[in-house]
Amino acid sequence: MVAVGSWGRLGIHDHRMQLLADRARVHGDISGQRQGLAFGMGRSYGDVCLNPGGTLWDLRSLDRFIAFDEQTGRLRCESGTLLREIQRFGVTRGWMLPVVPGTQYVTVGGAIANDVHGKNHHRYGCFGDHVTQLTLARTSGEVLSCLPGDTMFAATVGGLGLTGVIVEAELQLRRVPGPWLDVETLPYQDLQQFFTLADASEPDWEHTVSWIDCLHPSGRGIFMRANSVAADQPEPPSRADVRFPFVPPTSLVNRLSLRSFNAMYYHLKKTQPRSLQHYVQFFHPLDRIQDWNRMYGPHGFYQYQCVLPREAGATGIQAMLKTIRRAGMGSFLAVLKTFGQRDAVGMLSFARPGVTLALDFPNAGAPTLALFERLDAIVLEAGGRLYPAKDARMPRALFEAGYPRLQEFLPLRDAGISSAMSRRLLGN
Amino acid sequence: MSKKRIVIIGASSAIAEHCARLWTREAADFLLVGRDLARVQRIADDLRVRSPQSAIQTVDIDFLSADAISVLAEQAAQLGIDIVLIAHGDLPQQVSCEQDIHLAQAALQINGVSPALFAEAFAKQLARQGHGTIALIGSVAGDRGRKANYVYGAGKGMVERYAQGLQHRFASTGVNILLIKPGPTATPMTAHLAPAGLAKVEQVAHAIVKAIEAGKPVAYVPAKWQVIMLIVQHLPRWIFHKLNI
């Protein structure tokens, strides 16, 4: 048994780890066993990647490229391949992943199973929109080839790993002029200004995102928008990553530190109007600090990420920020962003048209959970939903209300697969 | 400069595979030798995607056949060889070896006799061409017999003794013999061990490629194992025998 936890560090549980190292044997390796779950980098925050007391199928050794067509940009690879490897491989050839999440230390399989999104949702949708085929091994011993449009494809993209083990995938990369982005940084004073900026930026800017100062009464923040550009600039020397060296006895993110953090960050950022940034710096700033999740101390932290439909968005977000301020809690890594008008591929994909707010909270026990209940009520009222990849505690009713295609999904599950999240939200 | 010619024995070992990925940063010619051709071919496909300019051949042979090994070395040497990496191995369950002597025999053969024979066969070819590197993957387990893994350790100890002899034989020639001693590394071979304390396979591969470039005789990877094993080797028996390692 091996102790495994997820990125939120809320708990560490014993698992039987079974390494899947040969892609031709996965269907045999996973069949006829007690229930298991595919495991990659463990970068999801809550319990979607955990199966306490059960088996985790470790896919990190299945990290081979299979084929690449330099003309069309189609890349076929094993599902344990890291997005980082694909980016490094592709960027020198003028091809990159169309959609990347905040960290590139995730596997292709994990990116598909959580149908992750990036800062360019309004232009490129989610990760699953660029998967052109996937190979799924089921614990029945079957191996299925799934194409966009297939029912099993729609169940597996965003399917939380519950429909089988993704063994291989074919991805459509996109042409890029190089690793650089032209980034514009604009301060905003309140939510109204945020929405105006977001709407005005979407036609001409591929990437839009904002950091919001959730402690400030007006809801000020920093809006960032960016486009890929050709730049005659050498690759920056690869600096060694910094590692957060230890788990502090208590969270370093607290009421005192937050206020100064946020004020400092706001004033620092608002004076940098335009810059040329490398893609790692722009897309994955936190990747530079390995184990940054340790800063929340021994009890770990929660991420709370919701999406609200646009109609209810402004008032809903306003109400959530007010609730957080009133509770005297706050978040440093607070991200506010609009999603484009497009439906996701997956039955349980998170992204939908509207506005998404992501917040992190040190785990302070009951008061933190009580705050989440109040936030849940706002999300439910607004017709929104929470992101399973970040979640460790949402009530079943909220999940069911947020994901109307759940009933369609359930019969497509693989009976030999179970996770802590599926037991919590689906009953088995 | 012409492309490097690299022969990898046990090409589907995780450490060898990651060395090969590093070597594809510049186009090279590879001969990948394994026991399971399908697995070796999957690795070859990956390397071809990474480096379309590299030429990659695959072959499977009997790793315990002296004839097959010497024929392979002769054929491989026809176009010249710059690097031979001998990387194969199997970590047996020590307890199973104690219960079934056939398992002990198989482990000694694949971890000890087989790499020694490959080294001997390629030494003959490199002696003829007068240059090149043979890198053998030993193990810290070969430094001192321990109850936890002495069957494996004895095989790896044989690799060490063989490397030493070859180093003596090729001293002050253009042929370099490198003995690599990885500490426990996170690979499929160690999947049943707890991940904490295992070195990352990428780091180990990186250190190996650097040691080959530098023409070193011995490389512990990660380097801290040199200190640890120095202590383990010199512990007086009366202390050592009280340790549960």
Distance CA(A365)–CA(A377), nearest Å, equals 19
Q: Say if B25 is an interface residue toward chain A (CB within 8 Å).
A: no
Overall average pLDDT of the A254-259 stretch: 80
Distance CA A403, CA A380 (A): 11
pLDDT above 90 for A372: yes
Residue B193: its pLDDT value, please?
64
Q: Min CA distance, A88 vs chain B (Å)?
A: 11
Domain B4-240 falls in which CATH fold? Rossmann fold (3.40.50)
Cα dihedral B141, B142, B144, B146, rounded to 10, equals 50
pLDDT band at A300 (very low <50, low <70, confident <90, very high): very high
> Tens digit of pLDDT for each residue in B51-94?
999 999 999 999 999 999 999 999 999 989 999 999 999 999 99
Q: Which residues does A267 contact at the CB level (< 8 Å), separation at least 6? A: none
Work out the average pLDDT over B94-113.
96
Contact: B50, A2; criterion CB under 8 Å: no
Q: Is B46 within 8 Å of chain A by CB?
A: yes
Question: pLDDT exceeding 70 applies to what percent of chain A?
Answer: 99
Contact with chain A for residue B197, Cβ under 8 A: no
- What proportion of chain A, given as a percentage, has pLDDT over 90? 80
Q: Does B30 have pLDDT greater than 90?
A: yes
What integer pLDDT is reported at residue A246 of this predicted model? 84
> Residue A286: left (phi > 0), alpha (psi -120 to 50), or beta?
alpha
**Pick from A2, A19, A64: CB nearest B46:** A64
How far is A74 from A349, CA to CA, in rounded Å?
23
How many CB atoms neighbour CB A332 within 10 A?
A: 20
Task: Report the pLDDT value the prediction gives residue B12, as an integer from 0 to 100.
Answer: 94
Residues of A in contact with B194 (CB under 8 A): 2-3
Chain B residues with CB under 8 Å of A84 CB are none
**A61 chain-B contacts, CB cut-off 8 A:** 14, 187-188
Q: Which CATH number is associated with domain A180-234+242-395?
A: 3.30.70.2520
Candidate from A19, A23, A75 with C-beta closest to B188: A19
Query: Quick one: average pLDDT of A224-242?
Result: 83
Using CA atoms, how far apart are residues B30 and B54, in angstroms rounded to an integer?
7
Which pLDDT band holds residue A63 (cuts at 50, 70, 90)? very high
Q: Can you give the pLDDT at residue A331? A: 80
A65: distance to nearest CA of chain B, Å?
5
Domain A65-176 has CATH 3.50.50.60: no
The answer, yes or no, to whether residue A233 has pLDDT greater than 90, is no
The answer to whether residue B44 neighbours chain A at the CB level (below 8 Å) is no
3 state SS for chain A: CEEEECCCCCCEEEEEEEECCCHHHHHHHHCCCCCEEEECCCCCCCCCCCCCCCEEEECCCCCCEEEEECCCCEEEEECCCEHHHHHHHHHCCCEECCCCCCCCCCEHHHHHHCCCECCCHHHHCEHHHHEEEEEEECCCCCEEEECCCCHHHHHHCCCCCCCCEEEEEEEECEECCCCEEEEEEEEECCHHHHHHHHHHHCCCCCEEEEEECCCCCCCCEEEEEEEEECCCCCCCCCCCCEECCCCCCCCCCCHHHHHHHHHHHHHHHCCCCEEEEEHHHHHCHHHHEECHHHHHCCCCEEEEEEEECHHHHHHHHHHHHHHHHHCCCCCCCCEEEEECCCCCCCCCCCCCCEEEEEEEEECCCHHHHHHHHHHHHHHHHHCCEECHHHCCCCCHHHHHHHCCCHHHHHHHCCCCECCHHHHHHCCC
Of residues A198 and A214, the one with the higher pLDDT is: A198
Report, as an integer, the average pLDDT of A395-406. Answer: 97
Selected for mutation to probe chain B from A1, A15, A16, A65 (highest B CB count within 10 Å) is A65
Mean local confidence (pLDDT), A244-254: 83
The boundaries of every CATH 3.30.465.10 domain in chain A are: 65-176
Beta strand A174-175 with A95-96 is antiparallel
Helix (H, G, I), strand (E, B) or coil at B146: coil
Instruction: Give mean pLDDT, residues A225-253.
Output: 83
CB A15 within 8 A of CB A56: yes
Average pLDDT over chain A, rounded to an integer: 93
Question: d(Cα B143, Cα B88) in Å, to the nearest integer?
Answer: 18
pLDDT higher than threshold 70 for residue B149: yes
Q: What is the pLDDT of residues A85-132, one digit of tens each?
A: 999 999 999 999 999 999 999 999 999 999 999 999 999 999 999 999
Give the list of residues 6+ apart from residue A343 with CB closer than 8 angstroms, or none.
A352, A353
pLDDT (0 to 100) of residue A222: 94
Of B50, B188, B195, the CB nearest to A89: B50
By Cβ distance, the residue of A18, A19, A67 closest to B49 is A67
On the CB side of B238, CA atoms within 13 Å amount to 0
Low-confidence winner among A97-111, A144-158, B214-228 (lowest mean pLDDT):
B214-228
Partners of A2 on chain B (C-beta within 8 Å) are: 194-195
CA B162, B165, B171, B174 dihedral sign is: negative
Compute φ and ψ for A155, nearest 5 degrees: -75, -35
Distance from the B192 Cα atom to the nearest Cα atom in chain A, whole angstroms = 8
Under 8 Å between Cβ of A390 and A304: yes
- CB count within 10 Å of CB A104 equals 21
**B221: helix, coil or strand?**
strand
Closest chain B residue by Cα to residue A63: B46
Please check the confidence at residue B1 and state whether its pLDDT lies above 70: no
Tell me, what's the pLDDT at A214? 86
Q: Mean per-residue pLDDT for A11-30?
A: 93
pLDDT at A264 over 70: yes
Question: CB-based contact (8 Å) between B95 and chain A?
Answer: no
Mean pLDDT check: name the lowest of A289-293, A307-311, A346-350. A289-293
Extents of the domains making up chain B: 4-240
d(C-alpha A312, C-alpha A330), whole Å: 22
**Residue B195 reports pLDDT greater than 70:** no
Q: Write out chain B residues lying below 8 Å of A3, CB-based.
A: 194
Q: Is the pLDDT of residue B194 over 80?
A: no
Mark yes or no for CB contact A19/B50 under 8 Å: no
Name chain A contacts of B42, Cβ cutoff 8 Å: 23-24, 64, 66
DSSP 3-state of B97: helix
The CB density around residue B62, as the number of other CB atoms within 10 Å, is 12
For B14, name the nearest residue in chain A, comparing CA atoms only.
Answer: A61
Residue holding tokens 């030999």? A416
- Whole-number percent of chain B with pLDDT over 70: 97
Those residues of chain A whose CB sits closer than 8 Å to some CB in chain B are 2-3, 17-19, 21-24, 58, 61, 64-68, 70, 75, 89
Say yes or no to pLDDT of A82 above 70: yes
By C-alpha distance, which of A304, A293, A216 is closest to A251?
A293
Q: Between A and B, how many residue pairs show a Cβ–Cβ distance under 8 A?
A: 38
Nearest chain B Cα distance for residue A161, angstroms = 22
Distance (Å) from the alpha carbon of B205 to chain A's nearest alpha carbon: 15
The pair phi, psi for residue A373, each rounded to 5°, is -60, -40
In contact, A42 and A428? CB cutoff 8 Å = no
Query: Which pLDDT score is estimated for A332?
Result: 79
Task: Report the pLDDT averaged over residues A68-90.
Answer: 97
0.95 surpassed by pTM: no
Judged against a pLDDT cut of 90, whether residue B123 lies above it is answered with: yes
The answer to whether the CB atoms of A68 and B191 lie below 8 A apart is no
The string of pLDDT tens digits covering residues A154-209 is: 999 999 999 999 999 999 999 999 999 999 999 999 999 999 999 999 999 999 99
Q: Is B42 on the interface with A (CB under 8 A)?
A: yes
ipTM of the complex in this document: 0.88
Q: Which member of A18, A58, A65 has the closest CB to residue B46?
A: A65
Distance CA(B120)–CA(B69), nearest Å, equals 9
Cβ neighbours of B191 in A, within 8 Å: 17-19, 21, 58
DSSP 8-state code for residue B185 = B
